[in-house]
Amino acid sequence: MSAISRNNVKVSGTGERTMLFAHGFGCDQAMWRFVAPSFNDAFKVVTMDHVGAGGSDPDAYDIGKYASLDGYADDIVEVGREMGIRNGIFVGHSVSSMIGALASIKAPELFNTLIMVGPSPRYIDDGAYVGGFGASDIEELLASFADNPLAWSASMAPAIMGNADRPELGQELTESFCRTDPRIAREFARATFTSDNRADLPKVTARTLILQCRDDIIAGEKVGEYVRDNISGSQLILLDATGHCPNLSAPDEVTKAIKEFV
């Protein structure tokens, strides 16, 4: 199966240069629905789902490959090469910021520009580094997937619900957003929240813009500053938006900041 269909790649827009939008942990490409279309007039706009999320191929999930962010970065490289992307713009939300950074290091010809929305190279505090979470916080999160199997019920994929005998329910869920298999969500959570990509930041050569929200408990302002200080030449913009998902809560502000940068 091609990477394009494996990752449920959707293409729109009329421009030459490609902008690839990747979603973070907990959602799917719907995350970009209020931002990506604004770039259709000037760019070839590509959105995609990571394997295990949204409309990606569930059979492509490999617990070994996706145990670290490298597996996801390899997918980005494959998608980029299949689509013939060169000197494109990678826009990553949350953990996809680091996935995009890894992909740009692996294949520098694909993307010469990185937009990171709420990035964090490491979520767990480490000495003087403040990631925002204690190790026990992440242990609690990972344990909660076993302890509370219905936590992700708001976005379970239809197959997970085992409702073959209730087709009306399946139909309803098919149209829901941010679909995820809770077992995959647990592994993605582990890959995300135990990642440490601090050493990779200095290797990034792409022009980089960091969009930082106020009051973001997933990736705080100190983390944004850390990313800026470790990617040479990068620019940090502190948005007025609060929370972790400005692409949904303040799409106009995000769109404006990206447009000014590219």
Binding stretches for another protein (CB under 8 A): 24-27, 30-31, 33, 94, 133, 137, 140-141, 143-144, 146-155, 176-178, 180, 189, 193, 215-218, 242-245, 248-249
CA–CA distance, 134 with 199 (Å, rounded to integer)? 20
| Angle value at C-alpha 49, between 92 and 212, nearest 5 degrees | 20
Helix (H, G, I), strand (E, B) or coil at 87: coil
Both tokens of 235, joined, read 């620019």
CA–CA distance, 40 with 172 (Å, rounded to integer)? 30
**93 labelled catalytic:** no
**Which of 218, 51, 57, 164 minimizes the C-alpha distance to 173?**
164
Compare residues 41 and 140 and give the one whose CB is closer to another protein.
140
Cβ of residue 63: shortest distance to another protein, in angstroms? 17
**249 labelled catalytic:** no
Residue of 28, 75, 181, 216 marked catalytic = 216
Cβ of residue 253: shortest distance to another protein, in angstroms? 12
**50 labelled catalytic:** no
Q: Give yes or no for a contact between 106 and 75, defined as CB atoms under 8 angstroms apart.
A: no
Cβ of residue 242: shortest distance to another protein, in angstroms? 5
CA–CA distance, 207 with 188 (Å, rounded to integer)? 27
Residue of 56, 94, 155, 195 marked catalytic = 94
Helix (H, G, I), strand (E, B) or coil at 214: strand
CA–CA distance, 213 with 20 (Å, rounded to integer)? 21
Cβ of residue 243: shortest distance to another protein, in angstroms? 6
| Angle, helices 182-193/69-82, rounded to nearest 10 degrees | 100
Cβ of residue 42: shortest distance to another protein, in angstroms? 25
Catalytic amino acids? 94, 216, 244
